Amino acid sequence: MIKLNAVLVALALTLPSVLAQSPIYGQCGGIGWTGPTTCATGSVCTFGNPYYSQCLPGVGTTTSPPTSTVSSTSSTASTSTVSTPPPVVTGFVTTNGQKFELNGEEYTLVGSNNYWVGLMNFSPAEMSSAFADMAGAGATTSRTWGFDEVTTDPGIAYYQIWDGATPTINTGANGLENFDNVVAAAKANGIRLIVTLTNNWNNYGGSDVYVDQILGANQFHDYFYSNAQVIAAYKNYVETFVKRYLDEPTILAWELINEPRCAGSTSTASPNCTTETITNWASELSAFIKSIDSNHLVSVGDEGFFNFPNNPNFLYTGDMGVDNVALTTIDTIDFGTFHMYPFDWAQTTDPLGFGDDWIANHTVLVQQALNKPVILEEFGVIESQLDQVTAYTEWYNDVIKDGLTGDLIWQAGSTDVENANDGYMVFPGTSVYTLLTEHAAALKARNA
C-alpha cells in the first residue's frame, strides 16, 4: 500500500532531471515529465495514462506507453504521437458487497466533482478537455449536476423552466441536448458519471424552486420531502431525465439530491422535519428510479451526518434531518456517500484529526456494518484554511489504509476552464494534481 507524505511529494516535484532513479511510488514518465525514468530497486515504472507513469512495487520489465511514429513527406518530417485510447465504456457498474464491479472485475471509483461541465455554455471541446484533464490524473469517475431550475431563461444552459406552478423540461440544444454532450465527452475520455438530479441549496435553482412555485413563497424548506404535489413534480423531472439515458453505460449512478437537509440556503425547516422525513423520501424516490431503470445504481448524495442523539458534536446528532446509516440501509440505495469540509463545519481545533475520524467512522459504521460501498464523495480545503497537499495526503492515506471504497475530490479544474474556480479547483501541473494522480494509481493498485 502507498503511504504518501507531503514532504516527499514536494521533494518529488523539485527533483532535478539528472537523478538516475525515481523512488517507489514516484513519477517516472508521462507527457511533460522531465524527471528520472528509471525506478529504485524493488519497483518498476508502470504506465498509468499518457500523463503519468509511476514506480510501483515489483520486478519486471518497464511498462511503457505506445511510442511515437514518424512519417516523412518530401523533405519535411512530421511527427504524430500515438496516444493510448481511453477505456471503452461498455457494461454497467454494479456493486458486490463493499466494492463496485464492472464486467466481473473490481471497479475503482476515484476522481473528482465537476458540477459546472454541463452548465455555463461550455462547448463540447471544452467539456472534452475537462474530462481529459481528469483522465490524465487517473480518474475513473466524475460527479456532475443534472439540473438547473429557472423561472426565466438565463441565457445559458438550463434543464427546467417554471411558469407559475407549471414546469417545462428543456429538451433543446441548451437543455438535455447539452447534457448529451456532457455524456459524450465523458465517454470519449473513459469517465463514468454520477449525475445529481437536484440541489438542497439554491445554487442552480434546486429544491426550493419546486416548493416556491407550487406552494408559494416563504414555505418550509422540507416540504420538498413531504408534500405530494412537490414530490410528483420532481418525479416527473426525474423520469424524463433518467429515461433518456436508460441504456447509457457512461452513467454510473443517479443521485437523488445534493446534500439534503431539513433547511435550505435561506428557507427554514418545519417543526415536523426529522431524519425520518428525509429517509422516507429517499426510500420513495430511489424505489421510483429503480422501477423505471434497472441498469444504473442509485445513491442519496447526503453529507454523511450521523444520528446519535446527545453526542457532543452536532454533526453526529441528526439535528439537520440526516441519518447516514438509515439512508444507506435503504434497499434501493446501492451505495453510501459522505462529504467532508472541516472548516465549513466549524471543526477547526484539529481539522486533520476530524477528517481521520470522519473517514474511519464511515468506513466502520456504514460501509462495513452494512456491507455496501461507501465513498467520500466531496471533500476539500482552501489554502487560506490549510495546506492542501498536507491535508489531502493524510486523508488519501486514510482512504487506503481504512479500506474505504473510493473518493471524489472537490473539485476538478481544467486547462480550458477558469470561471468556475472556487478556490478548491485542482488544475493540471500543480502539486495537488500530482498527488491526485499518485492516489488514483495507489487505489487501483490496492484493488488489483
Task: Enumerate the active-site residues.
Answer: 259, 378
Distance CA 239, CA 209 (A): 18
Distance CA 19, CA 209 (A): 59
Distance CA 236, CA 214 (A): 14
Distance CA 230, CA 233 (A): 5
Check the CA dihedral 238-241-243-246 and report its sign: negative
Q: Nearest to residue 51, comparing CAs of 445, 446, 440?
A: 440
Distance CA 387, CA 52 (A): 24
SS (H, E, C) the chain: CCCCCHHHHHHHHHCCCCCCCECCCCEEECCCCCCCCCECCCEEEEEEECCEEEEEECCCCCCCCCCCEEEEECCEEEEECCCCCCCCCCCCCEEECCEEEECCEEECCEEEECHHHHCCCCCHHHHHHHHHHHHHCCCCEEEEECCCEECCCCCCCCCEEEECCEEEECCCCCCHHHHHHHHHHHHHCCCEEEEECCECCCCCCCHHHHHHHHHCCCCCCCHHHHCHHHHHHHHHHHHHHHHHCCCCCCEEEEECCECCCCCCCCCCCCCCCCHHHHHHHHHHHHHHHHHHCCCCEEECCCCCCCECCCCCCHHHECCCCCCHHHHHHCCCCCCEEEEECCCCCCCCCCHHHHHHHHHHHHHHHHHHHHCCCEEEEEECCCCCCCCHHHHHHHHHHHHHHHCCCEEEECCECECCECCCCCCCCECCCCHHHHHHHHHHHHHHHHHC
Distance CA 388, CA 91 (A): 36
Neighbours of 401 (CB within 10 A): 15
